[in-house]
Amino acid sequence: MARASIHNRQDSLERALHLFWQKGFHATSLKDLEKALDMRPGSIYATFGSKDGLFQEALERYARLGLAELDRTFQAYESPLAGLAAYLRALGGICDKELPSRACMLVKSLLELGERESIARDKAEALLAGMEARFVDRFAEAKKVGELDSRLDPVLLGRRLQAEIMGLRAFAQRDVDSAAVHALAEDMAQSLEALRADEVAEIV
């Protein structure tokens, strides 16, 4: 005995995510959202509570999809190091895809949000920490299976990889050739592969 919703929550969230990722939190107005979601203010507020709340849900969706893609890449490679390198190489093709932005939405949010949006900023921080943890885990796994020299620190390597990815994607946000980004990612991937235990043995 109730009216059914004409909007799919996930679909609305996906549209909002697209807009927020492209324009950022501040530059995305409720007018923009109304148009993109084809919803009137009342419906948006009834569904998501506030612009801030909608943004936070969009952030979570972004991170969830990103982590899923990461895991998909990892699962395709038995070797942890190979999986990490493949993920980097895939990022090299970021300019070829049609995305709202080449930069990571978590990083965009981290850099844009201030005290007034501290909850969303903290959420972005937590999600970035989660990504870092996955990288660290993968490096730890590589160490366990003997791919990685025992003297190397998975935590440092994980952080380093996250910083490289942040940098790669920020760089890709510049008006640069797709080829330059591919070359950059390839270079990073090779640096990562050079960590293989047998190769490290030669230079340490």
Interface with a second copy (CB under 8 A): 22-24, 26-27, 101, 103, 107-108, 110-112, 114, 116, 125, 128-129, 156, 159-160, 162-168, 170-171, 173-175, 180, 183-184, 187-188, 191, 194, 199, 202-203
Applying CB under 7 A, the span of 48-56, 75-83, 140-148, 191-199 interacting with DNA comes to 48-56
Residue 5 interacting partner from DNA, a second copy, none (CB closer than 5 to 8 Å by kind): DNA
Closest listed residue to residue 184, CA positions, set 197, 195, 170: 170
Question: Cα(first)–Cα(last) distance of the chain, in Å?
Answer: 72
Nearer to a second copy, 7 or 67 (CB): 67
- Paired strand residues for 148: 196
Instruction: Please report whether residue 178 would count as binding DNA according to CB under 7 A.
Output: no
Q: What are 158's two structure tokens?
A: 């994980």
Find out whether 181 and 171 touch, Cβ atoms under 8 Å: yes
What does each C-alpha distance from 18 to 15, 25, 27, 110, 111 come to in angstroms? 5, 11, 13, 17, 18
Please state the closest distance from residue 166 (CB atom) to a second copy, in A. 4
Interface with DNA (CB under 7 A): 1-7, 28-31, 39-43, 45-47, 50-52
